[in-house]
Homo-oligomer: A and B are copies of this chain.
Amino acid sequence: MMKRLPLGKAFTLMESGPVVLVTTRYGGKSNIMTISWTMVVDFTPLFAMTTGPWNHSYAALRRSRECVIAIPTVDLLDRVVGIGTCSGADTDKFKKFGLTPVKGKLVGPPLIRECLANIECNVIDIVKKHNIVVLEGVAAYYDGSRKEKRTLHAMGDGSFVADGRKLDRRKMMRSKLPDGV
């Protein structure tokens, strides 16, 4: 079950560079794209992602100025790749990939129930010169009841790595962590 996560912790969902699904909604249609070109830009949180007119979702993103970043886990890999290799122009991806849209609180595009985490975002800027979209997270959710919590990282050559061993350096890092994290 998805529970609200304090916004001040939402950047931690993206910091490790996982492959994400990004949902958009425009003209009564929801769509999903797979993207790994993202980064955190600020703890508040702000995120950047690289996308442009070559993605069908870009028009919806530009027009609605909203999206949801949904973070999938290892068990969803084939759906993540499938979503990334077909187009919303001719496919209802929620239907095709058996994913459940969940209404968000603050934005129109849906959360994805099957994902580990979801972040509702507003588009606050598009740096056209570099195809960089800047997003502000406005609500975040985490499904702590899910057994599989390993996220995926794309290697860029068609292979992926799952999260492996966890290494704790919280004490050494304390001076660099924002309050409450």
Contact = CB atoms under 8 A, between A and B. Distances in A.
A158 B178 CA distance: 10
A91 interface: no
Interface string A66-83: 000000001001100110
Interface size class of A (residues with CB under 8 A): 35 or more
B77 A167 contact: yes
Interface stretch (A8-16, A107-115, A138-146): A8-16
A171 to B, nearest CB: 8
A81 B172 contact: yes
Identical subunits present:
2
Main secondary structure of the interface of A (DSSP, over half): mixed
Interface in A158-173: 158-173
A125 B130 contact: yes
A156 B11 contact: yes
Nearest to A82: B172
Interface in A72-125: 74, 77-78, 81-82, 84-85, 125
Interface string A1-44: 00000000101101111100000000000000000111111100
Contacts of A85: 172-173, 175-176
A39 B14 CA distance: 11
Contacts of A127: 127, 130, 132
A167 B159 CA distance: 6
Contact of A161 (B11, B74, B77, B167): B167
Interface of A: 9, 11-12, 14-18, 36-42, 46, 48-50, 74, 77-78, 81-82, 84-85, 125, 127, 129-132, 134, 150, 152-177, 181
